[in-house]
């Protein structure tokens, strides 16, 4: 039931009208003056107010004005005297919804009320709609915010570098992946006037010509997966797979976006793969040639031997030393030349044999063996080389180990290589005050494996050398090394499923450790 406030100073009218309105279904309250009406209105809300214009004190126009101020939605219907057009116009100007000329006829009243009701309804609907709209806008804003955050996260987390620019080429987006590729921070890039130089050469001109309007929009304004390079902060070319596009708004270019897939790792792996394939091919070729090569080497050595035998005979039989005989030739040229031949035959022989054993796929030939014996054998072989160069060779055996399964030949070769290297490290040590020593240790580890340690106090290695010692054809020994010795040793250890580690400090010395895991005793195949 709609509430209605009826304001009139004439008691008779109040009575008659309120009866009539009540019978129409309104909950009617009356006021006999403007002041009283306002008081009531302050206490409770009336959607419809009917007021007489002519009243002592506050008149109807004042009441209308004040009520509209208090609640603009309230429908105010005013009663005017007959022909009082001026009041009628004024009241409409003040926001009255209707005016009725006195005496009030039922029909006129009903029409006015109906119109007021309709207006109230419209307003209510409008308010509802507005309220809805507000919450819809709020929801939509939140959704946009969520999406923005989601998209931002996508960009931030993207593995590919992403750069987006505005029309002038200023950076809008420069994500962490891009930071990693280019070496610039986001702040550095955002402070640049243009990021043109970050785009790949050849692509950047086209993109920025389109953006600046110098060039017509081309058909091919999207680039997908082009392998190219970009320039990093350090001035180095970085291989990337670039995809990019011009961004449009209603056919007008507004910016650009570039996606950069970092190809450095892939390129590195490709290079490694090519390298290892090449090595494998070399290995296979070499293995196939091995037999022939070995015969040739033997032929060379045989030739040297025969020449040396002949020279010995030439120098009246009593000379034991072929070198002395050669020296009798004018200028000593023959000796120089012959020494060269001998030395280089020995070099090529060592290199080729290392290469052969490196390229050979071999399974360790396991047998029951005392690991101590290998240390003794190797040290016996190396004793004279050590002595000649003032190096003390110390063996540290572990009699508790007993016999284990290993490939004695393979381990012998590896250990011999390490001990020979260790003595070389002492020979190369410029600190002649030092008492050089090489210690060869063997002991069992807790899991039943065997550890060999070769420790020298020679020249040691810096990080660069240490990084390279296990790579092909690296040698610190100039002409004397083949650059394969350590590789061959490492290969043998790896075939044993073991590891070879190195610790070294320049000037202090080096420790090479071979760890062989426990081999289960199995019958030979």
Partner 1 sequence: MGKKVLIVDDDADIRTFASSVIENSGYTPEIAVNGEEAIEKIRKEKPDLIILDILMPKESGIKMYREVKTDPKLSDIPVIILSGIAQRTFTRSQKALAEFEGQTVPEPEAYLEKPVEPEELAATLKKFLS
Residues lying near partner 1 in the complex (CB under 8 A): 290-295, 297-303, 305-306, 309, 349, 353, 365
Say which residues have a Cβ less than 8 Å from residue 514's Cβ, sequence separation at least 6. Answer: 411, 414, 415, 418, 451, 452, 453, 493, 498, 499, 500
| Burial of 19 per CB tally in 10 Å (0-12, 13-18, 19+) | exposed
CB of 51 or CB of 420, closer to partner 1: 420
The span from the CA of 120 to the CA of 343, in Å, is: 115
CB of 118 or CB of 365, closer to partner 1: 365
In angstroms, give the least distance from the CB of 304 to partner 1.
Answer: 8
In angstroms, give the least distance from the CB of 227 to partner 1.
Answer: 46
In angstroms, give the least distance from the CB of 493 to partner 1.
Answer: 19
- Give the CA distances from residue 363 to residues 5, 358, 360, 417, 484, in Å, rounded to whole numbers and listed in that order: 110, 13, 10, 19, 19
In DSSP notation, 325-380 reads: HHHTSGGGHHHHHHHHHHHHHHHHHHHHHHHHHHH-------EEE-HHHHHHHHHH
CB of 167 or CB of 312, closer to partner 1: 312
CB of 16 or CB of 307, closer to partner 1: 307
CB of 252 or CB of 344, closer to partner 1: 344
In angstroms, give the least distance from the CB of 297 to partner 1.
Answer: 4
In angstroms, give the least distance from the CB of 309 to partner 1.
Answer: 6
CB of 367 or CB of 390, closer to partner 1: 367
CB of 155 or CB of 297, closer to partner 1: 297
Q: Which residue, chain included where needed, has tokens 């506050």?
A: 58
In angstroms, give the least distance from the CB of 442 to partner 1.
Answer: 25
In angstroms, give the least distance from the CB of 352 to partner 1.
Answer: 9
In DSSP notation, 164-179 reads: EEETTS-EEEE-HHHH
- Give the CA distances from residue 497 to residues 356, 365, 408, 442, 524, in Å, rounded to whole numbers and listed in that order: 21, 13, 15, 18, 17
Q: HSE of 261 in the Cβ direction (CA atoms, 13 Å)?
A: 11
The span from the CA of 455 to the CA of 440, in Å, is: 7
In angstroms, give the least distance from the CB of 268 to partner 1.
Answer: 37
CB of 196 or CB of 294, closer to partner 1: 294
């Amino acid at each position: 039931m709609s509430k209605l406030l009826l304001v009139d100073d004439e008691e008779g009218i109040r009575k008659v009208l309120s009866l009539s309105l009540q019978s129409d279904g309104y909950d009617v309250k009356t006021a006999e003056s403007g002041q009283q009406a306002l008081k009531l209105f302050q206490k409770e809300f009336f959607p419809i107010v009917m007021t007489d214009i002519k009243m002592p004190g506050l008149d109807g126009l004042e009441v209308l004005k004040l009520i509209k101020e208090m609640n603009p939605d309230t429908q105010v219907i005013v009663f005017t005297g007959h022909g009082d057009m001026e009041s009628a116009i004024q009241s409409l100007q003040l926001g009255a919804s209707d005016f009725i000329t006195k005496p009030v006829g039922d029909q006129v009243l009903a029409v006015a009320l109906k119109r007021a009701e309709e207006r109230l309804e419209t307003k209510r609907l409008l308010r509802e709609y507005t309220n809805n709209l507000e919450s819809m806008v709020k929801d939509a804003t939140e959704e946009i915010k969520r999406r923005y955050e989601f998209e931002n996260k996508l960009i931030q987390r993207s593995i590919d570098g992403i750069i987006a620019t505005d029309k002038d080429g200023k950076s809008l987006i420069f994500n962490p992946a891009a930071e990693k590729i280019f070496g610039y921070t986001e702040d550095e890039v955002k402070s640049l006037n243009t990021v043109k130089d970050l785009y790949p050469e050849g692509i950047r001109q086209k993109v920025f010509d389109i953006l600046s309007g110098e060039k017509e929009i081309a058909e091919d304004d999207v680039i997908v997966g082009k392998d190219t390079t970009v320039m990093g902060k350090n001035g180095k070319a970085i291989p990337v797979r670039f995809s990019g596009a011009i961004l449009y708004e209603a056919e007008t270019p507004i910016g650009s976006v570039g996606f950069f897939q970092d190809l450095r790792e892939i390129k590195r792996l490709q290079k490694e793969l090519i390298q290892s394939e090449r090595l494998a091919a070399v290995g296979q070729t070499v293995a196939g040639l091995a037999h022939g090569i070995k015969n040739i080497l033997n032929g060379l050595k045989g030739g040297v031997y025969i020449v040396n035998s002949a020279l010995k005979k030439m120098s009246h039989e009593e000379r034991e030393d072929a070198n002395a005989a050669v020296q009798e030739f004018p200028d000593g040229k023959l000796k120089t030349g012959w020494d060269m031949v001998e030395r280089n035959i020995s070099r090529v022989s060592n290199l080729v044999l290392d290469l052969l054993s490196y390229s050979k796929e071999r399974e360790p030939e396991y047998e029951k063996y005392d690991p101590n014996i290998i240390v003794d054998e190797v040290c016996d072989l190396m004793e004279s080389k050590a002595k000649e160069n003032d190096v003390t060779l110390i063996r540290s055996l572990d009699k508790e180990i007993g016999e284990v399964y290993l490939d004695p030949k393979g381990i012998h070769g590896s250990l011999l290589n390490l001990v020979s290297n260790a003595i070389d490290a002492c020979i190369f040590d410029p600190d002649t005050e030092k008492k050089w020593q090489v210690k060869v240790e063997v002991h069992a580890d807790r899991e039943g494996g065997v550890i060999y340690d070769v420790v020298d106090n020679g020249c040691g290695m810096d990080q660069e050398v240490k990084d390279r010692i296990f790579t092909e054809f690296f040698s610190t020994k100039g002409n004397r090394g083949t650059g394969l010795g350590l590789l061959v040793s490492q290969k043998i250890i790896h075939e044993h499923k073991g590891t070879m580690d190195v610790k070294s400090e320049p000037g202090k010395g080096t420790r090479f450790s071979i760890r062989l895991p426990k081999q289960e005793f199995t019958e030979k195949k």
